[in-house]
Structure formats: structure tokens, C-alpha cells
Amino acid sequence: MDNPANTNSKNDPYASLRLPEFNYYLIIRFALVFALTMQFIVIEWKVNLLSNHDPFALGLIGLAEVIPAVLLAPFAGHIVDKREKRGILLKCVIAYVIIGSGLFFLTWDKAVEGYDTHHILMAIYGLVFCGGIIRAFVSPANFSLQALIVPRPLYANASTWASSAWQIGSMAGPALGGLLVYAIGVHWSMMLVVAIFLLPLFSLIMIKPKPVHYAAKGESFLEGLTKGMRFVWNTKVVLNAMALDMFAVLFGGAVAMLPVFATNVLHAGALEFGLLRSAVAVGSLITMFILAYKPLVHKPGIKLLAAVFGFGICIIIFGLSKNFYLSFLALLLSGTLDAISVIIRQTILQLKTPDEMRGRVAAVSSMFVGSSNELGAFESGFMARMMGLVPSVVFGGCITLGVVITTYIISPAMRKLDLKA
């Protein structure tokens, strides 16, 4: 077989898939986000029931995870750059298995029989908080490992597949979670989550340990800690891409309120709730197949802006809709457009980040982008309580449109972006 590094990735959409270790990496990336997002939606539905459909209680789930993830991100990125990435990921996955097992028992009615509902909620929030600690290390280790598996000429091609795997997992997890809550209940759904965590464990064993490229060169601990932040600040196209996605997800994160929308606005049950979640996954799947054959190399910055703008429109339509089918279509399109923005952003990070700084730059990304999902969930819950459910979602969509317009005006680097390796 020819060396994949010599393959023209522009003409071969499967170039990076010819690397055996990259296929295991895709399993890790997909299975982790699939299990975690499925876990989130299962716990979200349980909290929704325990709190008597309180939107603020749902928002607290995201806040409990995002606090440790953000606070520890700079330290985690620094540690990941200095140590072997595969080993860090292995420890993180084992920790996720332990946390998932704890949530499994907390959703078992017989195990928590006699305990006060408030105490059960606090225990759930506590385990979610522990998951946020682990997540601070997973994001930079995962991002860094990809560049150690794939040669640079295939970065763009690999980023398309890796981003698609992440995007599909992040959407299919909640979709399956919602359907399984209806079919087998919360408790057994959590058991399946724990089982899914075994897939990345096996895949990590099949990947060889990778070299560490970190070079301190006499820098102090504080300098090493903040180097990733300074790099992002000085590399405007990276900064703008992160900021665009962060604000869009932060204010357009209406999907976090989907359980309440399903019950209170659309008057739907668990089955319809699962179908609404699956709409976003289907949209992402469509994007993956299209972009594997049609890479976003022509004016990717403009396409990124257009995708996020369209995402904001979909959120507004979803917020205003009282029809199940229209809501489904809006979420379907939002998944398609969000996948485009994720793939472009990940390609930007892979191509623009030096090897010795990947952990720290990924940590910054997790602070300002990855955590925006949970902050968006909290913001949505808070605004829903302040403004009402529907007005808060429409407001968030309008803010997303404003962020895109502002970025287009102030960022010529984004408009002229070139992703050729």
C-alpha cells in the first residue's frame, strides 16, 4: 500500500482513513462524545423529572460541568503538552467509567429509595462536576493525539473526518439517549453509556505511545501556562474562529431547553423528544458525506460565517415554532450548518498550531468554545426564567446573527481565510 502521506488528499477523500491508527482514533473521538452527550441527555431528562420541569435546574447541569473544565483548562493543556497523550486519555476514560457507574446508581430508583430528591440532585451535580475535571484534560489530549497520528499533508482531510466523527457522535448520542429514555428508561440507558466507554479503552490500547514535542527552553511555569493564550491572541484567524463559535453556541444553545420545549411548547413526549434530538444528528450526517467529497477549500472563512448565520436563523425558527415538523426541520438544518462550522474551525486549529503547543491551544479552545455548550445551557435556562422560554430562544438566535455580522465587518483575516496545508 502506498504511504498515505504521499496521497493527494484533495483528490482522495479517504486518504487519512488509510492510516490504521487514525481509524482507532476516530472510534475514540466518536465513542467519547457519543457516550458523554448521551449521558448528558439521559441525566438532563432525569433532572427534568426530579425538578418538576424547572429550566434553571437543567441549566445547572451545564454550569456544574463547565466550572472545573474552564478553571483547570490552562493547567491541563500545560500538562498534556509535557506528557504522553495516549496515556492521559487512557486515564481519563477510566475515570469516565467510574463517574458513569455512579450516575447509573443515582438513576436506579431502588438504590436511592428513601433519599430526598434534593440530595439526589446534588449528588448528580457533584458527579457532573467531576466529569468537568476530566474533560479539562480530554480535549487537549485528544486534539494533540490527532496531529501525532496523521502527517501534515493530510491535516485538512483528517480534520474533516475527525470533526465529522465528533459532530455525529455529539448529535447521535443525545438522539439515542432521548429514544432510549422512552424505550428502556433512564436507569438502563445509563448502563449502556458505561458500556460504550469500553470502546475508546480498547481503541487506545491499539494505538502506540507517541513522542512528546514539548520544549521549555528555560521558560517559567507561568510563561508555559499562558503561552497558548498568547498564541491564540496573536493569531487573529484562530482567535476570530474561536470567538465566533463561542458566542454563537453561547447564545444560540436553544437545544439545551429541548426537554421543556418538547413538553411545554410542542406538547410532546419522550418519543418526540428523541426524534427532535435525532434531527440534528441527521443534519450532521448529511454534512459529513458531502464534505468528504467537497472539501471547504474555496473561501472557507465566508462559508464559516454563512454557516453560523444560517444556524442563528434556524434557532429563531425553532423558537417561534409550535409545530413539531417545523421544529424538526429547523433542528435538521441547524445540525447541517453547525457541522460545517465545526469542521472549518478544527481545520484552522490543526493547520495553524505548532506541535509543541497543541495541548495548550486546545485547552484555550475548550475554554472559549467547548465550554460554551454548557454555558449556553446555563444561559438558556437563566434567560428562560427571566424572559420566558420562547422569547429567550429567539433573543439568542438574534444575538448569533449579530455576532456573525460583527465578525464579518471587523475580521478581514476571516474573509480571506485560506486552508491549504
Quickly list DSSP for 326-358.
HHHHHHHHHHHHHHHHHHHHHHHHHHHS-GGGH
pTM of the model: 0.72
Residue 85 lies in a domain: yes
CATH number at 104 reads 1.20.1250.20
The residue range of the domain holding 328 is 14-206+223-415
Whether 214 is in a domain gets the answer no
> By the 8 A CB rule, do 414 and 262 touch?
no
272 lies in some domain: yes
Q: Angle CA(26)–CA(166)–CA(251) in degrees, nearest 5?
A: 165
Say what the pLDDT of residue 419 is: 65
- 10 Å CB burial of residue 109 (0-12, 13-18, 19+) is exposed
Look at residue 203 in the predicted model and tell me its pLDDT. Answer: 92
Residue 411 lies in a domain: yes
> In terms of C-beta density within 10 A (0-12 exposed, 13-18 middle, 19 or more buried), how is residue 126 classed?
middle
Query: Amino acid identity, residue 134?
Result: I
pLDDT at 7: 44
Q: Which of 46, 138, 149 is nearest to 92 (CA)?
A: 138
The grid cell for 87 is: 496515556
332 belongs to a structural domain:
yes
Q: Give the 3-state DSSP-derived string for 190-209, with helices as H, strands as E and coil as C.
A: HHHHHHHCHHHHHHHHCCCC
pLDDT of residue 259: 76
CB 76 within 8 Å of CB 136:
yes
Q: Is residue 216 part of a domain?
A: no
pLDDT for position 129? 93
Q: Which pLDDT tens digits describe the chain residue by residue (421 residues)?
A: 344 444 444 567 788 888 999 999 999 999 999 999 888 888 888 887 777 777 777 778 878 888 888 888 888 888 888 888 899 999 999 999 999 999 988 887 777 777 777 788 888 899 999 999 999 899 889 888 888 898 878 877 887 788 778 877 877 787 788 788 878 888 888 899 999 999 999 999 999 988 777 655 656 666 666 777 788 888 777 887 877 777 776 766 666 677 777 888 888 777 777 778 778 778 877 887 777 777 666 777 888 888 889 998 998 998 888 888 998 999 889 888 888 887 788 778 777 777 777 878 877 877 776 666 666 666 677 777 777 778 888 888 888 888 888 888 887 877 777 766 5
pLDDT (0 to 100) of residue 75: 85
Q: Is residue 341 classed exposed, middle or buried when 0-12, 13-18 and 19+ CB atoms within 10 A define those classes?
A: buried
Provide the grid cell at 197: 466507554
Name, in order, each residue with C-beta under 8 angstroms of 151's C-beta and a sequence gap of 6 or more.
Answer: 4, 5
Residue at 300 is within a domain = yes
Considering only CA atoms, which of 40, 190, 182 is closest in space to residue 125? 40
> Based on the structure, what is the number of domains in the chain?
1
The pLDDT assigned to 130 comes to 94
Residue 355 in any domain: the answer is yes
Query: What pLDDT, on the 0 to 100 scale, is given for residue 224?
Result: 66
